[in-house]
Structure formats: structure tokens, C-alpha cells
Amino acid sequence: MRYFLQLAYRGTNYHGWQRQPNGLSVQEVLEKALTTILRQPITIVGSGRTDAGVHAGEQFAHFETDATLPAHLLRSLNSLIPPDIAVYSCFPVRFDDHARYTATFRYYQYQISRRKDPFREGLVYVFTPDLNVTRMNEAAERLLHHTDFESFSKVKTDVLTFDCRIDWAYWQEKPNGDLIFHIRANRFLHGMVRAIVGTLLAVGQERLSIADFENIILARDRRKAGRAAPAEGLSLVEVGYPEEVFYNRV
């Protein structure tokens, strides 16, 4: 039987979602806990990989087992994993429902604080230089007219295509001056959101023009784009699936 997990985590203490040979990952923590509870080796597959230090308000993963799930699985699972990871639900799905390949979109937010904030340490990027948010939004809108985002992908990556369909990309300015970058797409390349944010910040500082930004997209060269924004400001906030995936969800 295949099951989906819905979970969230603060990524500060982890080397990303995916199991790593040289650091603790969210995947490793969950697999160890499920293996302990179900008394058989469990491997989980996530909806996507988040980088080291990146957070998730909503993440999905699937695993398979022939064991009967205990009645209090969630209580047992949450008691075994650290407090910076939480599992909210576990439900059966069809065998061809896949946490990664069945997903129809991923929605990320990048949060910037315009002043030091001890209550959000590790959850926002503190960035104080003046920014032209209008220009940043004009540049972000250009993303919707393109599909090849090799310029915003890490160089050493094992993808077959750099094509992504971006549904929306825009900056929201809050009354206190803080900024949230919203971006949703069918898929994201490794390091893509952070590279886009870093380059848009250069536009906002008027070190790049809007035309420069579009030319960076067309160049298909990571060296042309700006530096990646720090991981702590980035969160995966929603993963979309067809409605039928959730028929057995309780």
C-alpha cells in the first residue's frame, strides 16, 4: 500500500530535504522514525528537494509498506521526530499516485525583512538597502513570458530539461516595508528561486535594468545572473495535486 504524508519543517538544522552523505536531512529523520514504528525499512519520496536551510510550510512525501499502520501513527511519529519537523496527516493513495510526479505545482515564498528582527531570526533575509519594488515587479513579470530558466539553475544538476511553466511571480510589499516574493510553477530547478530573488534584488537596487534581467533569462548562463539569495528567507508553502489524490484523506 502506498501512503502520502503531509508535513512541515523548519530547515535551519538540516542539509535540505534529500538524504545526504555528509549531513542530516529531513528525509533521513522521517525514514528512521517510520522504520522504527513499522519495524521494516521505509524509504520516502518527497514532492521535491529543498536546499539546506530552506523551510517548508507544506511538503508531501509518499512511502510504501505492507504493514498495518498503527492507530496512533501520527502521535508516535511526531513524538520520535524533532520539534522542527511536524507530520500533519497520513492517508492511502492509489499506487500510481507519486509525491513528485503527480504534483501539478509548487508554490514558494521568499521573505525579506527590512530591519533586524530577533523573533524571525533564521526565517527571513534581512536586507536593508533601498529597493525599487515597482521595477522588481516589472522584471518579475518577464518570467511569465519564458520557459527556459537555465540561467537560474545551479550548474551541476542532473535534469533533462531547464523548462518550467511559471504561473505567477510578484513582490508584495507589506505596510512595515517588509517584502514577500511569491512564485508558483509546475517545477523548479535546483537553486532557481534563490537565484531569481538575488537577481531581482539587483534590479531593485537599479544595478540591473529590466532589459538586463530579460537578457539574463535569454542567455541561459548561470554566470550572467546575480548571486543566490540566502536560504533562510525561502519556504515551500503549497504543493498542488489533482483532487482525486485526496479521496482517501481524513
Q: Which residues are catalytic?
A: 51
Q: Is 3 exposed, middle or buried (0-12, 13-18, 19+ CB in 10 A)?
A: buried
d(CA 108, CA 55): 10
Q: Is 216 exposed, middle or buried (0-12, 13-18, 19+ CB in 10 A)?
A: buried
Q: For residue 126, what are the β-bridge partners?
A: 113
Q: Distances in Å between the alpha carbon of 86 and those of 21, 60, 114? A: 23, 12, 29
The residue to which cell 512564485 is assigned: 183
Helix axes 133-142, 210-219, angle to 10 degrees: 30
d(CA 183, CA 51): 17
Q: For residue 111, what are the β-bridge partners?
A: 180
Element (H, E) at 110: strand 105-113
Q: Distances in Å between the alpha carbon of 187 and those of 73, 100, 103, 109, 193? A: 31, 10, 9, 14, 11
